[in-house]
Structure 1
């Protein structure tokens, strides 16, 4: 299997369409009902238990008791309808907002709308995306000081596997963040890239500049360790060229970048220099994360599984680092399969970002899954090109089919507060739409227990493909 195509598919396909796993049940084929749950209800005596069984057979009524309508999916107008969502967030420091496709308009605009609400009403001050750490630094400089041209930055940073972020919806979100910072220069909102798929030239420059100022004796050694690594081409070309290197060379490069991190860690920063030292170590760590990610064998299913596990681990580590270093409360944007509390595919993807965040932050992390009944999205097709795809209404027996029968068109609900009959339905494995960067893929329709996967669900009746800028 071609390494470049494998990476392109896997890096933004949460469950890895390239993984050698048994296909989940098709969304058109409903899973068998939970025998234990149905039998228990059927055997219940007349009375409240029998009523509960009836609700289980028609769970949309029970789910409707905890559903709150969304007035709009667009980031305009009043936000009062999001007050119930604010109560669901509570004291969470990181809110993971998922998506069931990587390129649908409404998933992006709902995140934008929620970001506006959480910034204004709950004190959130950062937006994190599954994009490279260096991309985050570059966009953050634009948001804080207006450095650079937004279109140019997006064109240069959102390439290859990250091209789905180069859309009008995220452009609008970033423009709103910039406008907010112009009005609130002493209390700005930040952009964080938590991924390790690329390490831009600015990372090497920042690490080298710190060494030249604070640890000049390290400069010669650092120059040798980073030899040949600083990008001199566009991001997509750099990654393709990097992956064409022999495995032994990629492993050697990862060892070198690891030694660079160790150089700084041997003498921790103190006093006034502690903060600058911490940032330099993090920037060096981001470089090492990229080389380590590409040192796995992307042509081997086991190597891919190990790489995807590592990727979710570092994405969680980067979010946690930012939150603990800055104190910012963070809106985290990623696919449902990343922000979930439990992996959608335990056999091949043993642990995901949301699981790591729950371990580190406990109740300080909130997982919000976004689902949809029908609509369109952009994705890579079987030919490797970008295409627009459309899917029809969810089939009976799937999670979305039931969610779409709840009394509101678009709504949010706190699964933690669901009544008992609804909890029984939420605890039963159900097929869900799970569309990544490549379609169709063998992980498009896994069976999950919603109650174990997410704290909150936002369901949308229809979505349309995002508006790509390139």
Structure 2
């Protein structure tokens, strides 16, 4: 049996399959998630893919794969991902998957059976404001005027969420909280009045919810990491829950099945990590609590290779060398097996390998090898975090659709194979 075969058998009837990644820039993680997701869609009838991306950008892809958009191809549909880090979704592996999903949906006869693509994240404050206004200008010009007056509160900050974070975090009178809440409540009331499934209204309502939650997120940014981390993951979980409810309305009693793509740190249960001990929760924990017995969590791991990442926030993408796993870490323990790749599942023959606590590496969009221990490792019990973990000992950087000179000139081991 292949790793996918084993995972499909273990997933069983789970409605939510959470597929992680140990970095935001590793080809194998994207590729493996895509292949497993394709099988979940075709063989187990999964209905949607929800990813760690902003709602309006991902919804542009949703329109394309559903045959509703104006984009001519997958590359054009991905152009909404223009904010740092662009390579996280504008890369060769996502491009291939989006193209596959469009083809898969075209094979299906009923529009209602088409698989959707949605974003869970909350960074798109101003883009989501624009999308709420766009919807209302078509649906109800009077409501659009009220929304424009409310959202004008945010105009004082020049379209920069960081400026808003600084101002609202220091002075509560600068907050646009009331305006964001009122606008969400009005859209929710509109949805209740219609009492029917309206795709564009649902899209607008989710954008209004994002504005409300993003306002809170940026307002708390000055107060410390735990608060903003919890707000962000709570928003992602709320979006997943709302998506589940919305999709279920048109399924005549059938419950939706959703694949989630995000970083290991979001999808492994926070209660099994030092994150949890310092008061943080995440989507993995919240999903297990909200849908007991209906979730299956898969983590990914690598020992060395290359990764696409930046040296600082908002800096150019580079192809960086991933250092060998630290002594005593899960990565080193897995490497010492001598196996190029293997799958760990609960109750398997290698159970002892992933019992914790041990150090586990997490590379986001920024990778700082010189400060790796403090920037990229944290204590976890891997077997409690996930239901399964796929380790690939040597991996390579995901290929951005826009390859900068710094990416081409990045650190690559002299003998590393780059053939696809």
Contact 2:304 2:323 in 1 (8 A): yes
CA radius of gyration, larger in: 1
In structure 2, distance between residues paired with 1:157 and 1:250: 33
> In the superposition, relative to structure 1, how do residues 292 and 163 fare at CA in structure 2: closer, same or farther (>3 Å)?
farther
Match of 1:391 in 2: 322
Name the SS of the counterpart of 1:141 in structure 2. Answer: helix
- Separation in 2, partners of 1:69, 1:459: 14
- Superposition TM-score, scaled by structure 1 size: 0.73
Long gaps (5+) in structure 1: 1-67, 71-81
TM-score, scaled to structure 2: 0.81
Q: Which runs of 4+ in 1 moved over 6 A?
A: none
| Bigger mean CA deviation after superposition, 245-254 or 313-322 | 245-254
User: Who is 1:252 aligned against?
Assistant: 175
Question: What is the CA deviation profile of residues 53-107 of structure 1, one whole-angstrom value per residue up to 9, with x for unaligned ones?
Answer: xxxxxxxxxxxxxxx654xxxxxxxxxxx22111111111111111111101111
The one of the two structures with greater contact order (alpha-carbon pairs below 8 A, sep at least 6) is: 1
Kindly tell me: are residues 432 and 201 of structure 1, through their superposed partners in 2, closer, same or farther at Cα, counting changes over 3 Å? closer
1:58-457 matches, cutoff 5 A = 70=3, 82-145=4-67, 146-149=69-72, 150-186=74-110, 187-199=113-125, 201=127, 204-206=130-132, 209-210=135-136, 213=139, 218-227=143-152, 238-239=160-161, 247=169, 248=171, 252-266=175-189, 269-270=192-193, 272-273=195-196, 275=198, 280-298=204-222, 300=223, 302=224, 304-327=225-248, 328-342=256-270, 344=273, 345-348=275-278, 350-382=280-312, 384-406=315-337, 408-415=339-346, 417-418=347-348, 423=351, 426-440=354-368, 442-457=374-389
CA distance in 1, matches of 2:308, 2:183: 39
Cα offset, 1:385, TM superposition: 3.9
Number of residue pairs matched?
A: 382
Match of 2:409 in 1: none
Name the CA distance, whole Å, in 1 between partners of 2:107 and 2:123. 33
Q: 1:314 to 1:192 in 2, by over 3 A?
A: same
Q: Following the alignment from structure 1 to structure 2, what is the Cα–Cα distance between the partners of residues 295 and 192?
A: 25
8 Å contact 1:250–1:294 — kept in the other structure?
no
How far the C-alpha of 1:336 sits from its partner, in A, is 0.4
Which 10-residue stretch deviates more, 254-263 or 151-160? 151-160
CA contact (8 A) 1:342 1:452 kept: no
Partner secondary structure for residue 52 of structure 2: strand
